[in-house]
Structure 1
Amino acid sequence: MTPSTVDHQATVRIKDLLLRAYIGIKEEEINNQQDVLINVKLRYDATAAVNNNEIESALNYRTITKQIIHHVDGNRFALLERLTHEVLMIVMDHAAVQWAQVEIDKPHALRYAESVSVTLQAHREAA
């Protein structure tokens, strides 16, 4: 394989970020924090990171994770859809991100089900 055929589109996954938030519309949900499980999958062009082997050339997924934690942990959201959208916007605020998908699970939201989740995705238009 020659270097010109190598695809440097990196896929980064932030898996099972477990936070607590007030989420829901029922009184019990409004008054008590619940676990939310966040999974983020994103793509960016990692050519500079691969070629330079320097942290400054890579997407800083630690920064993204800290921003998500700061936004979600302990805060209030009525709908899982809105929370998922807001986390997706945090990820897409990073210009290097070309595509992202966010899935947020609300464990034990339904009787007899392990969890309920909402998934949203976004992508940048080609320049």
Structure 2
Amino acid sequence: MAVIFIRDLLLRTEVGFNPHELGKKQDVLLNIAIHYGLRGEEISDSPDDALNYKTLCKGIVRLVEDGHFNLLERLVNNVADYLLLNERILKVEVTADKPHALRFARSVAFSLEKKREIV
């Protein structure tokens, strides 16, 4: 199994349910680990064999920036579920930071690990 890391993906979305947050986009910082099965790309050096992380990232950007979330938990769960739609991806770890959510803290973060359900 291999891992691709997407680090410090800074996006803007509506996240929160307090009156001062409604209708306003806020920064969200995502860190993602994608565990997947290799198909020989480490030997072939062929882009056709590789997991296309650029396409995955574009989908995450659309999902998050076009969405509205009351909770970080829902945002993270939706990103994890989106990634697990790809049959090569076996497990994901997604962490979302909401900078300045608390007055004296750099950020508040939520993290979730999900695995592909084996049927």
The TM tier, using the shorter chain, reads: over 0.9
- Distance (Å, rounded) in 1 between the aligned partners of 2:82 and 2:60: 7
Whether the aligned pair in 2 keeps the contact of 1:33 and 1:74 (CA below 8 Å) is: no
Q: Which of 78, 89, 97 is the matching residue for 2:81?
A: 89
Q: CA deviation at 1:51?
A: 2.9
* 1:120 to 2:117 alignment: no
Normalised by the length of structure 1, the TM-score is 0.87
Determine the structure 2 residue equivalent to 1:51.
Answer: 43
* 1:38 to 2:10 alignment: no
More helix by proportion, 1 or 2?
A: 1
- Structure 1 gaps of 5+ residues are 1-8
Code of the aligned partner of 1:123: K
- Structure 2 gaps of 5+ residues are none
* 1:21 to 2:13 alignment: yes
Q: CA deviation at 1:31?
A: 2.3
Q: CA deviation at 1:59?
A: 0.7
Normalised by the length of structure 2, the TM-score is 0.92
- Distance (Å, rounded) in 1 between the aligned partners of 2:21 and 2:45: 46
Code of the aligned partner of 1:90: Y
Return structure 1 stretches of 4+ with deviation > 3 angstroms.
Answer: none
- Distance (Å, rounded) in 1 between the aligned partners of 2:104 and 2:73: 21
Residues 33-74 of structure 1: CA deviation (Å, up to 9, x unaligned): 100001110111224212322111111111110000011114
- Distance (Å, rounded) in 1 between the aligned partners of 2:14 and 2:118: 37
% identical aligned pairs: 37
Q: CA deviation at 1:111?
A: 1.4
- Distance (Å, rounded) in 1 between the aligned partners of 2:25 and 2:54: 25
How many residues align? The count is 119
Aligned-pair RMSD on alpha carbons? 1.5
Code of the aligned partner of 1:42: I
Q: Which has the larger radius of gyration?
A: 1
* 1:108 to 2:100 alignment: yes
Q: Report which stretch shifted further, 43-52 or 86-95.
A: 43-52
